[in-house]
Amino acid sequence: MNYPDVKKAKEMICEIGKRMYHREYVAANDGNISLKVEDNKILATPTGVSKGFMTEEMISELDLDGNWNGIGMKPTSEIKMHLRVYKENEDVGAVVHAHPPVATAFSVANIELTKPILIENVLLLGPIHIASYAKPGTEEVPQSIAPYCRDYKGVLLANHGALTWGRDLIQAYHRLESMEHYAKILMYSTQVLGSKNELSKEQIEDLKK
């Protein structure tokens, strides 16, 4: 894995934080971001700070066991679920957590985003399941997402929000955007228009080829 240098990585985290905030994927101090910069070193967003107003000096530095080296502000209390993704899937270089309104509404309604209705989502995102409810900041959260970290690109957190990951921060964030876009289309087609046209198994296999 090609890791970004620390300064560039912190700039990227702040930029993605602003995008999340301005797209209303997070409100107030919600959400968190992490990015791997060495085999045993990640950068993470701080606790209690709006993702739209972060600076590079605020970004925390930790190892994969969650030990903070004192650089930056105190890391997010939800760092445990980020660490679990990295440990479950060594190909992951970044993790993003947010509360995009429509996708989060699906998590509240207990409706998984698994309907094959969009070509792009079938190819680039895949099915998004809902992890069982877990209290934020506890060990229950990493345990609930562990089954999805290797074979999927993201997961909904029951009554909470969304978590996506990727080989780098751009890919992880784009998967968050794709998840929310997919959730909107599914909502409009089923709840507003009253129907949906799903791709067949044959069409999906042909697309993958």
Once rounded to an integer, what is the mean pLDDT over residues 105-111?
A: 97
Q: Where do the structural domains in the chain lie, given as residue ranges?
A: 6-208
Domain over 6-208 is classified CATH 3.40.50.1000 = no
What's the pLDDT score for residue 196?
Answer: 78
Residue 195 has pLDDT above 80, yes or no: no
Residue 192 has pLDDT above 80, yes or no: no
What's the pLDDT score for residue 1?
Answer: 81
Say which residue, 12 or 135, is predicted with more confidence. Answer: 12
- List Cα–Cα distances, 195 to 100, 127, 132, 182, 199, in angstroms: 23, 19, 28, 15, 13
- Find the catalytic residue in 61, 78, 177, 180: 78
Digit-coded pLDDT (tens) for 122-153: 889 999 999 999 988 789 999 999 999 999 99
Closest by CA position to 152, among listed 139, 170, 165: 165
Is 61 one of the annotated active-site residues of the chain? Answer: no
Polymer length in residues for the chain: 209
Neighbours of 167 (CB within 10 A): 14
What's the pLDDT score for residue 170?
Answer: 97
What's the pLDDT score for residue 194?
Answer: 79
Average pLDDT, the chain: 95
